[in-house]
Structure 1
């Protein structure tokens, strides 16, 4: 009798455990942890890819228009280490991590919500691919729009080492300084410079990464009879990394050039923002790149892009699935 009263008393004092593992905020935290891990591991390839995409464009310096000498993947990476130091391979990693705290958390939570509540589920548990495509594009664009300022700061920080080697004055020394300078020069709108090519790129990359992973994984499990385990996750992420690179590389080139281009010093019209000296907008950058360097210039840096997206996707999905499993969260 007394033991029963103690149980009742304990039940009245101790609240029942909350089921937090499948909550949106907890999944958001898990996706940010996985994205940060993947970003730190593969960031040097991202910096190398950005340097490759910028080289070859017609630029302006004190002597007028000039062409930068071309370098390949290996020579670019070795050149950065030799000319700037090993740690420069992680220059700009801080805003890159900040970006994923917004981008990856938003896209993962939004996609899962859309998939589970709006997608049509077939009898075998699969969903129509076209719905996954639309969902991936939408959530990728929305997430990148929110994270675009951090991406802008990252790209400009990645190019600082190269500017100093060319004898140009440094523009920024830290992520905080970059944020303040960009805001003072163009206001809130200036923080979204290059936003549209960034949104387009992320929509396609998200289509390649998130949609491909989700669709391929479910196909392997339902049609091939594979278990939802480590090897299925690895195989699915390998497919998603390749598709992401193919779809996202052209928009990535345009995005990097728009974000890195110099601007005029003063605007003659009060209240207007600085104008780019090389490209008027994303379409102008796309057309000039093709006209001056050929169509395949849009795939500059494709190999490091693929080499980065592949390991990034592999690291992210394996980490994400494993920590979901360890935390008691249902599988993605």
Structure 2
């Protein structure tokens, strides 16, 4: 949020009437999401590996990791510090699309609602804007989430390279060719169910925190 606001306010700037040009919101949202997710990629890799252990146990397979500490140590032992950024590219790409949907849509929708309707800058407007942002974020983020999960969870060779996909683009093309375009939307409903409430809670809370702190509305 800090990076997005800096890009929006300092680097690109608003229109004289306070609205945000869509292209500026897009650039800011994608840049902020990519930067933050790159820094958080190691934690996300550990999370993905732990989440897959439940499926392995159901299949009667031996667990590869036992907890977050073990997963972290295993990744570093096998691939060095660079191994913590395995799959960072699809991870960052996913964050770019999710934040494009979330930040850009909320920012744009809110200011358009305030400009073209009689609604005020209050709970209802924040909630309405967050509904749009959560839905668009799920639409844009689900394909990237599918690719990211497949790339990050694929087995690797002795050199740490994936054995199933050469890159996120290769994974995307294989999924479309082998399973059809809509295979990219496997898990869309759970994704929306997760992102919708998150967006609603986050934006209302964030706006209220700004108000409580004496900062202008987002």
Q: Do the aligned partners of 1:220 and 1:232 also contact (CA within 8 Å) in 2?
A: yes
Instruction: Output the CA distance in 1 between the equivalents of 2:136 and 2:148.
Output: 19
RMSD: 1.3
Pairwise mapping of residues 135-284 of structure 1 onto structure 2 (< 5 A)?
135-264=28-157, 267=158, 273-284=159-170
Cα shift at 1:153: 0.9
Equivalence map 1:36-55=2 (5 Å): none
1:289 aligns with 2:183: no
Q: Distance in 2 between matches of 1:214 and 1:181?
A: 41
| Preserved contact between residue 20 and residue 107 of structure 2 (Cα < 8 Å) | no
Deviation at 1:189, TM superposition (A): 1.5
Show the counterpart of 1:99. none
Aligned to 1:324: 210
Superposition pairs of residues 6-25 of structure 1, within 5 angstroms: none
- Count residues with an aligned counterpart: 218
Instruction: Measure, in 2, the Cα distance between the counterparts of 1:257 and 1:304.
Output: 17
Is the 1:124–1:222 Cα contact (8 Å) retained in structure 2? no
In structure 2, the partner of 1:29 is none
- Alignment gaps of 5+ in structure 2: none
* TM superposition shift of 1:235: 0.3
Question: Which aligned segments of 4 or more residues in structure 1 are displaced greater than 3 angstroms?
Answer: none
Residue number among 288, 302, 307 corresponding to 2:188 in the alignment: 302
TM-score, normalized by length of structure 1?
Answer: 0.63
Name the SS for the 2:80 alignment partner.
Answer: helix
Q: Identify the residue that residue 26 of structure 2 maps to in structure 1.
A: 133
Q: Which has the higher contact order (CA 8 A, sep 6+)?
A: 1
Q: Post-superposition shift, 1:281?
A: 1.9
1:122 aligns with 2:15: yes
Given that residues 37 and 91 in structure 2 are in contact (C-alpha distance below 8 angstroms), is that contact kept between their aligned partners in structure 1?
Answer: yes
| Distance in 1 of aligned mates of 2:50 and 2:24 | 37
Structure 1 alignment gaps of length 5 or more: 1-107, 268-272
Give TM-score, length-normalised by structure 2.
0.95
* Deviation of the 1:323 alpha carbon: 2.3
Tell me the CA shift for residue 122 of structure 1. Answer: 2.4
* TM-aligned CA distance change 1:119 to 1:275, over 3 Å: closer
Question: What whole-Å deviation, never above 9, does each CA across 1:13-53 have from its counterpart, x for those lacking one?
Answer: xxxxxxxxxxxxxxxxxxxxxxxxxxxxxxxxxxxxxxxxx
**Kept in 1: contact 2:46–2:68 (CA 8 A):** yes
In terms of Rg, which structure is larger?
A: 1
